[in-house]
Amino acid sequence: MDAQNYEIGLLGKGTDVKGKGSASMKMTGKLRALPDGGTEVAGISEITITGLLAQFGSRVVEEVSNQMF
């Protein structure tokens, strides 16, 4: 967390219990004060998927990603 610049970073990792795939995520968030007193929230996510999920689940992952962002 970088309180001076209003930034936060998150890392996540996971592995399939059968060892047939994994996923990792890096997410960065930043806050910016707006002139009207509001706050802008910006986020960037990088997700890496390997194994069976990447091979067979790419359509599902893409569809969910499109709904989220």
Q: Is residue 1 part of a domain?
A: no
pLDDT score, position 28: 95
pTM of the model: 0.65
Q: What percent of the chain has pLDDT over 70?
A: 99
Q: What's the mean pLDDT in 41-66?
A: 84
pLDDT score, position 3: 74
pLDDT classification of 38: cutoffs 50, 70, 90: very high
* Counts of helices then strands in the chain (DSSP H, E): 2, 3
Q: Is residue 11 part of a domain?
A: yes
Q: What is the Cα–Cα distance from 3 to 58, expressed in whole angstroms? A: 36
Q: What is the Cα–Cα distance from 64 to 20, expressed in whole angstroms? A: 21
Query: What's the domain range around 30?
Result: 7-68
How many domains, the chain? 1
